[in-house]
Structure 1
Amino acid sequence: MSADPDQRPSAGSPTDPPAGGQAGTATDAGVPAGVRTAGMWCVWTLAIGAVVYFAVQLAVVLGTVVLTFLAGLLLTALMRPVVSWLDRGGLPRLAATWLVMVVFLALLGGVVYFLQQQVAGQLASLRPTLASGLDRLRSSLVETVGLSPQRVNSLIDGLISQVAPSGAGAGAPGPGMLLSGATAAISVAAALVLALFTAFWLVYDGARIWRLCLRLVPADRRAAADAAGNGAWKTLGGYLRGTTIVALMDAVGIGLALVLIGVPLPFALAVLTFLGAYVPVVGAFVAGLAAVLVAYASGGLTEALWVLAAVVVVQQVEGNLLQPLIMRRTVFLHPLGIVYALTVGGLLWGIAGAVVAVPLTAVLYAIAVALAGRHGEEDADPRPRGLRLRFGPGGASRREVSAAAGRPAGDGAGSGGASRRGGAAEAPGDS
């Protein structure tokens, strides 16, 4: 027997909630909606903060492993395009990987050997000149600039002790220094071998490794994870290739300027400029400051001003021409975000953390952008997904729902109808 549509439930109907509400439910009238919302935000903020805190602590504990893997990932982003190009040219991928790896090691070893020979030979003859130049710098900073003599003396004395040791026995390392140096060398060598091993397998078999990782993702989220991973990888590769090209041009420009001006150690300062380009903002400043200090210590104020002008010109060309032209397709990071990324990376892992901080931030930003774009595409679908409509007192009728969705109200039959089992109906988008 059908109920009268005009009949309304009585005041004492069991379907009505209690007057004061039930504590802990969404219908609790004793707690304002704003307080409930603020409480949920606080709970989620604390939960996310706890996860981030423990993740950072784990990254600090496993700092060597994390940095080694990130170094291998950076090497992979540099080597993989060359290996893929050789693979498309007909060379087997395994042979191409070995060839690129051997060429990279030969270039790295050649640069280190040449740098050691040049710096060691020139520094031995320039130590007295650099020491006297640093003494002139001490007097200029104290008398002209007005800095604290104690701080200037401690800084300059430390530099002089590194440039020109005071005695034969002063520079002789003791057993403890030799042991610590050997331990550090072994640690660096082990990290380098592990990074090269990681890069080799990621270059050679990275596609299959990525497919294996995608199997861990639920099937309905696999496409989004794949799109985010591909976007992040393109961002990392573009960032590193662009940074390498810009760093090479900076090193060539400043190196030529140092040779023309006659500053000692031009090759070493050019290599420092090249490496400093991988640390945005701070790296260029440190490399330029080192070149100016060497020029001042060896040739005086005029030579230092010429070097300063050359560094400013090269960096202006880089910032206004090379960066927009070469790195226009990479993810843009605001300078404020770059500075904070460098700060966090430096606090966690030192100089190595500052090197990997910016590309890691760019990758995380690219993943967030890809996931947000994917989510936006899903939200753009006009069909309701997973929407359950309640029928009964206080609920929306089928006619109201159909009118809101722009569909004619049906009788519930067929694929367009909604079942009313248990007082609920599913939207057609769920089928």
Structure 2
Amino acid sequence: MSSQHDQPPPTDAVTGGKPGTATDAGVPAGVRTAGMWCLWTLAIGAVVYLAVQLAVVLGTVVLTFLGGLLLTALLRPVASWLDRTGVPRLAATWLVMLLFLVLLGGVVYFLQQRVTREWTSLRPTLVSGLDRVRTSLVETLGLPRERVNSIIDGLIGQLTGGFGGGAAGPGMVVTGATTAVTVAAALVLALFTAFWLIYDGARIWRLCLRIVPADRRAAADDAGNGAWRTLGGYLRGTTAVALIDALGIGLALLLIGVPLAFALAVLTFLGAYIPVVGAFVAGLAAVVVAFAAGGLTDALLVLGAVVVVQQIEGNLLQPLIMRRTVFLHPLGIVYALTVGGLLWGIGGAVIAVPLTAVVYAIAVALADRKGGEEAEPRPRGLRLRTGGASRADVPSNDGRPAGAGGGPSRRDQAAEASEGS
């Protein structure tokens, strides 16, 4: 006979769990489910935390690759068009990259020449304008003089020391040189990435798909294609909106007579790639320059022009151009900009919205759902009338319209009779 110690411990009759374990009958089912959810949440949170920390450490590499990806989405359609017209793929890639570099270098050189030349005459006017603002804030609005003087004096110090106006110490020279080298290296790596993605992107994508299990390869391919279409559509739509904004703001500045109109138009164009924040910064810069050059009247005119252009953009251009491209709620855009800015600064704010749109497109494709705003399901058989819905329009439990007394309708009875005959 076996002893009492040889017998197995009692188990739960329902779950089969041993006493003292998570499946013990003494542990409620809700507590067991909550515990499992907590464990999975902690595991997922740890993975996300490690991924974010790795992205912060490798911030320059991540931003460089994403910048090359954005540049590829912007330039690849041009290279593909040249390829279709008979230009060899390698020659088309080189031509597109060289045209982009010439355009970028020309804009930077022209801005540097114009800003440097006009800033010398504009700086004294801006300093006197800030002195007028100081007087108005203290004497008219009654703000504390010490606080106002601290802010205004700091701004004047930045203005008088910027654009070659002050001597730079050795530390500033070293910092500037290091920043320039870092930016140049990142730009070269981004251009290198964009070149190979434009020239050989299809083969690179096929190589990436080879590491995906065979039964999931089609889903991954669909998700990647959907994400790529979303990214390309976002960049093309944003570029179109940015061009229209820059033309509108630049024309208004020329008509009002504000200096640095071309530079401010370029700033408006670049600011369009940072939703919400970019438009505010570009408009604020235009108002400040107008105030420095022409006083309060010109500043108010520029402010009105900026508000009109931004209203046209938000209520007309964005719905028409971007509606079928990116499906993100403004709340999601704001939080994406916040997270991107906290992680990687201005570069993170630039890539935050397109990256979020791409992630959403991938999630939608993997979930086998159509992108975009889905129409709300309409209740079957329920029609609103002036006198209310009749009983024949309300579906019964089996899905068929309920007639008088809840039985089948006359049409159903006639169909059953014809089938029986």
Q: Which TM bucket (shorter chain)? A: 0.7 to 0.9
| Count of residues in correspondence between the two structures | 361
Describe the shift of the 1:86–1:25 C-alpha distance in structure 2 as closer, same or farther (beyond 3 A).
farther
Separation in 2 of the partners of 1:245 and 1:360? 19
Q: Which deviates the most, 143-152 or 324-333? A: 143-152
1:107-156 deviation line (CA, Å, top 9, x unaligned): 00000000011111111111111111121122233444454544433332
Is the CA contact 1:20–1:30 (under 8 Å) kept in the aligned structure 2? no
How is 1:164-179 mapped onto 2 (pairs within 5 angstroms)?
164-165=160-161, 171-179=166-174
Separation in 1 of the partners of 2:210 and 2:249? 49
1:330-356 deviation line (CA, Å, top 9, x unaligned): 122111111111111111111111111
Describe the shift of the 1:18–1:116 C-alpha distance in structure 2 as closer, same or farther (beyond 3 A).
closer
Corresponding residue for 2:36?
A: 40
Shift of 1:302: 1.1
Corresponding residue for 1:31?
A: 27
1:271-324 deviation line (CA, Å, top 9, x unaligned): 111111111011111111111111112211111111011001111111111111
Q: 2:48 aligns with which of 42, 48, 52?
A: 52
Matched, 1:309 2:272: no
Shift of 1:189: 0.5
Corresponding residue for 1:22?
A: 18
Corresponding residue for 1:350?
A: 345
Separation in 1 of the partners of 2:196 and 2:20? 53
Shift of 1:20: 8.7
Q: 1:141 aligns with which of 123, 126, 137?
A: 137
Is the CA contact 1:136–1:297 (under 8 Å) kept in the aligned structure 2? no
How is 1:26-425 mapped onto 2 (pairs within 5 angstroms)?
28-165=24-161, 171-373=166-368
Shift of 1:161: 2.1
Is the CA contact 2:291–2:299 (under 8 Å) kept in the aligned structure 1? yes
Describe the shift of the 1:227–1:124 C-alpha distance in structure 2 as closer, same or farther (beyond 3 A).
same
Per the alignment, in what secondary structure is the counterpart of residue 373 of structure 1?
coil
1:35-57 deviation line (CA, Å, top 9, x unaligned): 11101110010000000000000
Separation in 1 of the partners of 2:235 and 2:193? 17
Shift of 1:357: 0.7
* C-alpha RMSD of matched pairs (Å): 2.3
Describe the shift of the 1:18–1:327 C-alpha distance in structure 2 as closer, same or farther (beyond 3 A).
closer
Is the CA contact 1:21–1:30 (under 8 Å) kept in the aligned structure 2? no
Is the CA contact 1:224–1:374 (under 8 Å) kept in the aligned structure 2? no
Describe the shift of the 1:145–1:339 C-alpha distance in structure 2 as closer, same or farther (beyond 3 A).
farther
1:379-430 deviation line (CA, Å, top 9, x unaligned): xxxxxxxxxxxxxxxxxxxxxxxxxxxxxxxxxxxxxxxxxxxxxxxxxxxx
Describe the shift of the 1:24–1:218 C-alpha distance in structure 2 as closer, same or farther (beyond 3 A).
farther
Describe the shift of the 1:148–1:85 C-alpha distance in structure 2 as closer, same or farther (beyond 3 A).
farther
Is the CA contact 2:11–2:19 (under 8 Å) kept in the aligned structure 1? no
Separation in 2 of the partners of 1:246 and 1:23? 66
Write the letter of the residue equivalent to 1:323. Answer: Q
Separation in 2 of the partners of 1:356 and 1:223? 27
Separation in 2 of the partners of 1:29 and 1:248? 67
1:55-85 deviation line (CA, Å, top 9, x unaligned): 0000010010011011101100100111111
Shift of 1:183: 1.2
Per the alignment, in what secondary structure is the counterpart of residue 280 of structure 1?
coil
Normalising by structure 1, report the TM-score: 0.79
Separation in 1 of the partners of 2:241 and 2:33? 49
Q: Which residues of structure 2 form unaligned runs of 5+? A: 1-9, 371-421
Separation in 1 of the partners of 2:287 and 2:142? 20
Shift of 1:30: 1.4
Separation in 1 of the partners of 2:294 and 2:48? 51
Normalising by structure 2, report the TM-score: 0.81
Separation in 1 of the partners of 2:324 and 2:15? 60
Per the alignment, in what secondary structure is the counterpart of residue 269 of structure 2?
helix
Q: Which deviates the most, 19-28 or 178-187? A: 19-28
Describe the shift of the 1:145–1:97 C-alpha distance in structure 2 as closer, same or farther (beyond 3 A).
farther
Separation in 1 of the partners of 2:336 and 2:168? 37
1:182-226 deviation line (CA, Å, top 9, x unaligned): 111111110100000000001111111011011111111111111
Describe the shift of the 1:28–1:140 C-alpha distance in structure 2 as closer, same or farther (beyond 3 A).
same
